Amino acid sequence: MSLLQVENLNARHGLLQAVRDVSLEAAEGEILALVGANGAGKTTLLRTIAGSHRATSGRVSFDGTELGAMRANRRVHLGIALVPEGRRLFGGMTVEENLKVAGAGGRTGRWTLTTVIEAFPMLKPHLKRRSGELSGGQQQAAAIGRALMSNPRVLLLDEVSLGLSPVAVSAVYESLQAVIAEGRTTIVLVEQDLARVLRLATRVACMLEGRVVLEGKASELSRDQVTEAYFGLRRGEGAGVH
């Protein structure tokens, strides 16, 4: 049975329906990548799974339990953690304080201050610095580390590479390998770098105007297929993908 299940999920922003009848699932240890243009509904989908955005209908189930209207902090206790777009660290607090706050409210497990720093060694020299003073790559590492401190079973990563230099992106993903190699944490990843997605992910789902229009094993999808779904085109036809 899948660890995370999303069934016929709908979510709105006022009059705008951002997520339309989405159904997805992810098994333990799987890496599911969500791709799509800006406004496709990816961020809203992650926030709805995490409990920070209200669903209008549909179901989110975790380890066989329907989450319903459960608040975001309760979902963290169950084992779902979100690294939001833009990092959203406590800028006036040090890196160490950001990590410890998350650890105090999370589950017990492998991830502690020591193991997070081992996985993200770029943070070690900056533990006593305010997080608002860090570079973008350092902030992203701190945001992922903060989520890991809750010892999640499902890690939701929204736009890991957004606004970062190629060097910083590579450094962050290199550190993420420690999480991936462990094979126990399910990762749902929003990422714009299609080449990286196809190398890293187990499965890929492409969203267009709030719907999933293409889904499959990363090893069985070509870059052309994903690109066509991304823009809502069939090769040579100009028609929408269904």
Structure tokens at 21: 């009848």
The yes/no answer on whether domain 4-231 falls in CATH 3.30.70.920 is: no
Residue 236 has pLDDT above 80, yes or no: no
With bands split at pLDDT 50, 70 and 90, how would you rate the model's confidence at 89?
A: confident
With bands split at pLDDT 50, 70 and 90, how would you rate the model's confidence at 179?
A: confident
Cα–Cα distance for residue pair 115/24, rounded to 1 Å: 31
Residue range 27-44: mean pLDDT, rounded: 94
Nearest 5°: the CA angle 116, 117, 121 is 130
What per-residue confidence (pLDDT) applies to 147?
92
What per-residue confidence (pLDDT) applies to 155?
96
What per-residue confidence (pLDDT) applies to 209?
94
Q: CB within 8 A of 102, min separation 6: which ones?
A: 146, 147, 149, 150
CA distances from 140 to 72, 84, 124, 147 (A): 21, 10, 14, 11
Tens-place pLDDT, residues 43-66: 999 999 999 999 999 999 999 999
Residue 157 has pLDDT above 50, yes or no: yes
Residue range 187-197: mean pLDDT, rounded: 90
Nearest 5°: the CA angle 119, 125, 128 is 110
With bands split at pLDDT 50, 70 and 90, how would you rate the model's confidence at 74?
A: very high
Residue-averaged pLDDT of the chain: 89
What per-residue confidence (pLDDT) applies to 124?
94
With bands split at pLDDT 50, 70 and 90, how would you rate the model's confidence at 105?
A: low
